[in-house]
């Protein structure tokens, strides 16, 4: 599900609703590997802690915690493919696949729900969490170009590689490549600097628009309040196989690159 715009929307929503609250209790169900940090360590670290704020780093949701004693810590939530982080009234029944529920001082619950169990919960104590790669929204054109220098990897899987840029997923990789008019299979290291600059601008523009519309709800993504996003209505290529390109009417083509479905216009993207 969730890529940068969806994770940003969820983090902002959760922040608005629970910043400043204290965790009164924590209940977990399910097993490793959902819990990168096992429940018997996670529980005591969370209970009694004040949630200073909630923010996004790459595709991670970071909750900044101040425990009653000791050093500040960070509670990391990765939504994987189907993860949800919801703030709910406790009387609302917990949906199936609820793996964590944190009781908050306001009486509400912060719930982590994840049917497919690709999501991860972890405690991060070794200094500020910075994520595996660079931030797409703030990286400079120079740094952006440097990421791809000398790489034979196709640009599409390169955009998905979190150690380079973190936060970009399958939807926004396809959408930004269409906006930049670059063929997804082009070896990353063989793209000219002007075209990389165009991609840098296209990626930032697509991500910002998607954040403004609350992300893309392709099947089941919802934000912290359970609301769907609207950016799926703006998709130019993603999941539009066979439909006419918005620019030139050529049918959108689907191929598999790096094991992921990839959508592009064979005429606009060379």
Is 157 one of the binding residues for DNA (CB under 7 A)?
Answer: yes
CB environment 20-37: b (16+ within 10 A), e (fewer): ebbbeebebebeeebbeb
Clarify whether 260 is annotated catalytic.
Answer: yes
CA–CA distances in Å: residue 171 to residues 124, 176, 264? 28, 9, 11
Question: Min. distance of Cβ 137 from DNA in angstroms?
Answer: 16
Residue 261 found at the interface with DNA (CB under 7 A): yes
**Which residues 6+ apart lie within 8 Å of 93 measured at CB?**
none
In the structure encoding, which two tokens stand for residue 44, read together?
């005591």
Peptide bond into 33 cis (omega under 30): yes
Distance CA 120, CA 112 (A): 10
SS3 per residue for 230-254: CHHHHCCCCCCCCCECCCCCCECEE
Q: Which is nearer to DNA, 60 or 108 (CB)?
A: 60
Pattern 6-35, binding to DNA, x per CB under 7 A? x--------------------------x--
151 binds DNA (CB under 7 A): yes
Q: Considering the complex, what minimum distance in angstroms separates the CB of residue 63 from DNA?
A: 17
How many Cα atoms are found within 13 Å in the side-chain-facing hemisphere of 265?
23
Give the number of residues in contact with DNA, rule: CB under 7 A.
41
From the centroid of its chain, how far is CA 178? Answer: 20
Q: Which of residues 68-87 bind DNA (CB under 7 A)?
A: 78, 80-82
181 carries an active-site annotation: no
* Active site annotation includes 3: yes
55, 59, 84, 111: the catalytic one is 59
Nearer to DNA, 70 or 95 (CB): 95
The footprint of DNA on residues 159-218 (CB under 7 A) is 160, 162, 169-171, 215-218
Binding pattern for the stretch 209-248 against DNA, x by CB under 7 A and - elsewhere: ------xxxxxxx-------x-------------------
Nearer to DNA, 48 or 80 (CB): 80
> 159 in the Ramachandran plot: left (φ > 0), alpha (ψ -120 to 50) or beta?
alpha
Gap between the terminal Cα atoms of the chain: 28
153 belongs to the binding site for DNA (CB under 7 A)? yes
By annotation, the residues acting in catalysis are: 2-3, 59, 260
Q: Which residues bind to DNA, rule: CB under 7 A?
A: 1-3, 6, 33, 58-59, 78, 80-82, 96-97, 115-118, 132, 150-154, 157, 160, 162, 169-171, 215-221, 229, 258-261
């Amino acid at each position: 599900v969730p890529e940068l715009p969806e994770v940003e929307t969820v983090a902002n929503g959760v922040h608005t609703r629970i910043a400043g609250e204290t965790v009164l209790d924590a209940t977990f169900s399910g097993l490793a590997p959902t819990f990168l940090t096992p429940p018997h360590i996670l529980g005591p670290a969370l209970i009694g802690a004040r949630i200073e704020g909630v923010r996004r780093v790459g595709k991670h949701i970071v909750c900044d915690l101040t425990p009653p004693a000791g050093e500040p810590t960070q509670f990391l939530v990765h939504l994987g493919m189907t993860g949800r982080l919801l703030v709910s009234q406790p009387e609302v029944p917990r949906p199936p696949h609820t793996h964590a529920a944190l009781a908050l001082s306001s009486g509400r619950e912060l719930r982590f729900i994840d049917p497919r169990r690709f999501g991860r919960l972890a405690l991060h104590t070794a200094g500020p969490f910075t994520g595996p790669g660079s931030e797409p929204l703030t990286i400079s054109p120079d740094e952006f170009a440097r990421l791809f220098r000398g790489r034979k990897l196709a640009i599409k899987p390169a955009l998905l590689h979190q150690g380079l840029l973190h936060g970009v997923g399958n939807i926004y990789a396809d959408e930004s490549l269409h906006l930049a008019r670059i063929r997804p299979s082009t070896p990353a290291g063989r793209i000219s600097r002007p075209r990389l600059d165009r991609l840098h601008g296209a990626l930032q523009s697509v991500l910002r628009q998607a954040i403004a519309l609350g992300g893309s709800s392709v099947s089941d993504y919802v934000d912290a309040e359970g609301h769907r996003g609207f950016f799926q209505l703006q998709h130019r290529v993603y999941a539009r196989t066979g439909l006419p390109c918005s620019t030139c009417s050529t049918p959108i083509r689907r191929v598999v690159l790096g094991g992921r479905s990839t959508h592009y216009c064979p005429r606009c993207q060379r």
